[in-house]
Amino acid sequence: MQLTVNGTSHSFEQNPNLSQLLEYLNLTGKRLAVECNGEIVPRSRFGETRLADGDKLEIVVAVGGG
């Protein structure tokens, strides 16, 4: 499936759920927040959130700022 993650398109052979996607991207255990197609996905639901072809994800973290 094709997924857009933080503005970049990625192709996946399997159909990962959100938790698996984060593991694949080396983001497991990081403090972050995820928006899928404009809706925030609570952290507790990462494992049960199925992704579909064409889904658009924003994965954000806290960084230095004023």
Partner 1 sequence: MDELIIAGKVYASRLLVGTGKYKDFDETRRAVEQSGAQIVTVAIRRTNIGQTAGEPSLLDALPPSKYTYLPNTAGCYSADDAIRTLRLARELLDGHDLVKLEVLGDPKTLYPNMVETLKAAEVLVKDGFKVMVYTSDDPIIARQLEEIGCVAVMPLASLIGSGMGILNPWNLQIIIDNAKVPVIVDAGVGTASDAAIAMELGCDGVLMNTAIAGAQNPVLMASAMKKAVQAGREAFLAGRMPKKLYSASPSSPTTGLIS
User: Which residues bind to partner 1, rule: CB under 8 A?
Assistant: 5-8, 25-33, 35, 38, 40, 42-43, 58-66
- Residue with Cβ nearer partner 1 (31 or 50): 31
Give the tokens for residue 64: 């230095």
Closest contact distance (angstroms) between CB of 5 and partner 1 is 6
Closest contact distance (angstroms) between CB of 9 and partner 1 is 11
**Residue reference for tokens 């993650």:** 5
Closest contact distance (angstroms) between CB of 40 and partner 1 is 5
Whether the Cβ atoms of residue 51 and residue 1 lie closer than 8 Å to each other: yes
Per-residue CA distances from 65 to 26, 27, 59 (Å): 24, 22, 18
